[in-house]
Amino acid sequence: MSYTKLFLQAGRDEAVRRFHPWVFSRAIARYDGDLNDGDVVEVYDRKGVYLATGHYHDGSIAVRLFSFAATAGGPVTPDAAYWTKKLRGIRHIRQAIINSTRDAGPTNCYRLVHGEGDGCTGLIIDVYNGVAVLQAHSIGMHRERMVITEALQAVFGDELTAVYDKSSETLPNEYAGTVINSYLFGQTPVPHPVLENGNTFLIDWITGQKTGFFLDQRDNRALLAQYAPGKRVLNAFCYSGGFSVYAIQAGATDVHSIDSSQKAIALTNQNVTANFSPETYQHEAIADDVLHYLNNHNEQYDIVILDPPAFAKSLSARHRAVQGYKRLNTEGLKRVAKGGILFTFSCSQVIDRELFYNTIVAAAIDAGRQVRVLHHLSQPADHPVSLFHPEGSYLKGLVLWVE
């Protein structure tokens, strides 16, 4: 198979040699052959030395790289055999990661492929107890979906019951409307039960947010469980009730879950009842705007969890987002009982750790509370970050002890 060759401007090869996963359009000097969105292309330096292979897309980020000369040895053909080898290596690491959590109870859902962090730029695959849910962020990766499905079958064998493609909301706007979410292999009824640290969750990848569940909070939920026994807990932005289930399991006396989405409240109730018999817990799930709830209830909680959606999706939205995080955390801090704990998160990629920290400092000043940091949190190991693509580190959190 021969692919179109792109040649970089002088001096523009350094980033690719350092495994940066994107080639910007301004770095390209010339190319031979056709160049269409989604094409596999080979990237060369000015002198014609092969550097990497990726998917082309007309735009500021012109090529999303998934194979580098230094690791692959030379040009590659991304067929089923290529993806099988790659996914086998990735799965090996995932098995070690999931094994390391087994003392907390069995887990059979995790992120198998985390885009750039796994050398698979433009591809997310989450595994839910035998079902792989795929989200392509580039049209090129979406075109690979059938060979990737073949590779998943080769890697997982009988353990794989279905592969579902849910790319219609993640592809670039001009393509999002052209694809229909569907099974690429097998079919599994939803909701589908999974185990996370021994807790049951019912997953619906078809109508749920993202691939159906926020797998990135697994370790942080386990940490919450350590603090929750005997406590009154407020889980704000609960989605399907991940933190709530862990809190009840750990012996929290009272748990309140808040989300503005009725669907999320229904999912939370469903997951709580899937784990516990009714007489064994005190839980209430309330559909409300979190700020509205915080402003209209004077209740104090021993533990407050704030896990809002990304307030900033772009750099231009950053300033407003910071104001939003500050206000939310000021109100959240006011609801923490003396000596209680705040778990606070941001999943906005453009708000880095330092900015988030400083925003929380500002919130604590506004709330007039003495606050100490107990933990700095992030995404779990099945959401790895390339050293050469720090943007992949998106989830940050703080556990604060509030006097």
> What is the contact surface with ligand SAH in residues (CB under 6 A)?
214, 217, 237-240, 242-243, 258-261, 264, 289-290, 307-309
Q: Report d(CA 258, CA 268) in Å as an integer.
A: 9
Other beta carbons within 10 angstroms of residue 74's beta carbon come to 9
* Pick 83 or 345: Cβ nearer ligand SAH: 345
Nearer residue to ligand SAH within complex by CB, 259 or 382: 259
Task: Choose between 162 and 215: whose C-beta lies nearer to ligand SAH.
Answer: 215
State which residue, 6 or 236, has the beta carbon closest to ligand SAH.
236
Q: Beta strand 283-287 with 371-378: parallel, antiparallel or unpaired?
A: unpaired
User: Are 236 and 306 contacting, i.e. CB atoms less than 8 angstroms apart?
Assistant: yes
CB of residue 260 vs ligand SAH: minimum separation in angstroms? 4
Q: How far is the CB of 280 from ligand SAH (least distance, A)?
A: 22
Quote the least distance from Cβ 338 to ligand SAH, whole Å: 25
Name the pairing type of β-strands 254-259 and 232-236: parallel
The nearer residue to ligand SAH, 150 or 307, going by C-beta atoms, is: 307
CB of 232 to ligand SAH, least distance (A): 18
Q: How many CB atoms lie within 10 A of CB 300?
A: 14
Measured between alpha carbons, how far is 329 from 1 in angstroms, rounded to an integer? 55
Q: Which is nearer to ligand SAH, 56 or 246 (CB)?
A: 246
Minimum Å distance from CB 241 to ligand SAH?
Answer: 7
The residue among 393, 399, 300 whose CA lies nearest residue 344 is 399
Query: Shortest approach of ligand SAH to residue 204 CB, angstroms?
Result: 13
Nearer Cβ to ligand SAH, position 167 or 268? 268
Closer by beta carbon to ligand SAH, 108 or else 261? 261
Query: ∠ CA 150-58-117 to the nearest 5 degrees?
Result: 50
In the complex, minimum distance from the CB of residue 243 to ligand SAH, in angstroms, rounded to a whole number: 5
What's the closest the beta carbon of residue 216 comes to ligand SAH, in angstroms?
Answer: 8
